[in-house]
């Protein structure tokens, strides 16, 4: 990797995870700057516009750790409207003024998308970056789309023999047309978890126990997607493992999430008073190794590249392990599980992001010269 890399950090976005993305982006930007890279912060508005965060504002946020001053714990989406286009050199992207495309503010060597949820984690922005011919961090179009779509993800995992919880899925027209909608989940034991197929950060998810309103839970999920997944609940421990790498991905230490109320919902993830994460998780050695092995298998099953966090449910009574889901762009604040499990494995946060940038160049350099029109890959 080049000594000093010009890195565009994309954050914000139109999804319901906008604020989470802004918090993750601050951690990533600080770590990249610590490694000596030039960071250009590009905020995506809720309507899809791109804003170039002014350098003095970015510097203020990056300097708060050393200075010890209190400041907002996320990068703001503010600044001049800009657009992305191909750079003058092959494999770069230019950041140009939206109202004067000839005015180039920066040329970037690589883009680090820190966009959680739809439009950023589902292959959409990856497709844009592919069309611009620029290296970018993380999973490609297909793996991002499969990882974001819980139904497609479960199909991919089951095809490769990776254990998942029993589930059913249906679209909104099927639900509306059913004489007795509850018959669509016959065969699943409660409690049930009702989820939008394509959403993250536990948004739109409901736990439905005996006597609870399944219809209300499904309607809540439909607020976020027109396809809904209903999973059979597993009474067990919530465990998480990080994957990092390309052709030969590696698995991290295993962490555990211990929560009140039966599951790790949005409120506890981002507004809870206590840290529910235990790293490393107290587990028998053979269970830890099984989780690490299944994490790599799951990552490979969706065609992953760069990073993912793999979430498990562990039934201690039966010894069964189930992959609950993969997150191809996990939370990246200093308090998030992904950095924590890698720190426990001896890889500090700045080194993690540095490796991810190197992996972006590795993938880009391995592509055939015809992969991007107008230049070599």
Question: What pLDDT, on a 0 to 100 scale, did the predictor assign at position 259?
Answer: 74
Question: What pLDDT, on a 0 to 100 scale, did the predictor assign at position 118?
Answer: 84
* Cβ atoms of residues 311 and 239 within 8 Å: yes
| Strand boundaries in 150-205, DSSP class E | 167-171, 192-196
Question: What pLDDT, on a 0 to 100 scale, did the predictor assign at position 69?
Answer: 46
Question: What pLDDT, on a 0 to 100 scale, did the predictor assign at position 375?
Answer: 41
| Strand boundaries in the chain, DSSP class E | 6-12, 38-44, 50-52, 80-86, 93-97, 100-108, 110-114, 167-171, 192-196, 206-208, 227-232, 237-245, 250-257, 277-278, 306-315, 320-327
Question: What pLDDT, on a 0 to 100 scale, did the predictor assign at position 334?
Answer: 78
Query: CA nearest 118: which of 148, 92, 159, 73?
Result: 148
Spans in the chain with pLDDT lower than 50: 2, 66-71, 263-266, 268, 270-272, 374-377
Q: Across all residues in the chain, what is the average pLDDT?
A: 90
Q: What is the pLDDT of residues 242-292, one digit of tens each?
A: 999 999 999 999 999 987 655 444 454 544 455 689 999 999 999 999 999
Backbone angles phi and psi of 327, in degrees to 5 = -120, 110
Question: What pLDDT, on a 0 to 100 scale, did the predictor assign at position 217?
Answer: 95
Bridge-based pairing state of the strands 306-315 and 277-278? unpaired
Q: What contacts 29, CB < 8 A, 6 or more positions away?
A: 9, 39, 41, 58, 61, 62, 75
> The whole model's pTM is what?
0.89
Question: What pLDDT, on a 0 to 100 scale, did the predictor assign at position 374?
Answer: 46
Give the DSSP per-residue string, 311-325. EEEEETTTTEEEEEE
């Amino acid at each position: 990797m080049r000594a000093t890399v010009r890195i565009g950090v994309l954050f914000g976005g139109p999804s319901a995870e906008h604020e989470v993305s802004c918090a993750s982006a601050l951690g990533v930007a600080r770590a990249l700057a610590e490694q000596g890279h030039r960071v250009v912060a590009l905020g995506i508005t809720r309507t899809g516009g791109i804003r170039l965060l002014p350098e003095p504002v970015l510097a203020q946020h990056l300097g708060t750790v050393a200075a010890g001053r209190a400041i907002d714990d996320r990068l703001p989406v503010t600044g001049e409207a800009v657009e992305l286009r191909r750079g003058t050199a092959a494999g770069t992207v230019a950041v140009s003024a939206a109202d004067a495309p000839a005015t180039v503010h920066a040329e970037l060597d690589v883009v680090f998308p820190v966009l959680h949820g739809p439009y950023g984690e589902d292959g959409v922005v990856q497709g844009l970056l592919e069309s611009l011919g620029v290296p970018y961090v993380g999973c490609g179009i297909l793996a991002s789309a499969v990882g974001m779509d819980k139904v497609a993800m479960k199909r991919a995992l089951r095809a490769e023999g990776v254990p998942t919880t029993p589930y059913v899925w249906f679209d909104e027209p099927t639900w509306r047309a059913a004489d007795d909608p509850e018959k669509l989940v016959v065969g699943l034991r409660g409690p049930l978890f009702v989820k939008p197929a394509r959403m993250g950060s536990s948004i739109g998810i409901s736990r439905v126990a005996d006597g609870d309103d399944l219809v209300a839970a499904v309607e809540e999920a439909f607020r976020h997607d027109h396809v809904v997944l209903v999973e059979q609940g597993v009474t067990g421990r919530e465990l998480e493992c990080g994957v990092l790498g390309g052709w030969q991905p590696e698995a991290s230490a295993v962490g555990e999430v211990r929560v009140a109320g039966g599951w790790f919902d949005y409120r506890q993830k981002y507004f809870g008073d206590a840290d529910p994460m235990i790293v490393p998780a107290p587990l028998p050695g053979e269970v830890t190794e099984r989780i690490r092995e299944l994490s790599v298998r799951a990552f490979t099953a969706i065609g992953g590249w760069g990073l993912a966090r793999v979430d498990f449910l562990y039934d201690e009574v039966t010894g069964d392990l189930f992959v609950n889901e993969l997150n191809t762009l996990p939370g990246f604040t200093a308090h998030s599980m992904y950095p924590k499990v890698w720190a426990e494995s001896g890889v500090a946060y700045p080194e993690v992001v540095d490796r991810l940038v190197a992996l972006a160049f590795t993938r880009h350099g391995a592509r055939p010269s015809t992969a991007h029109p107008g230049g070599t890959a």
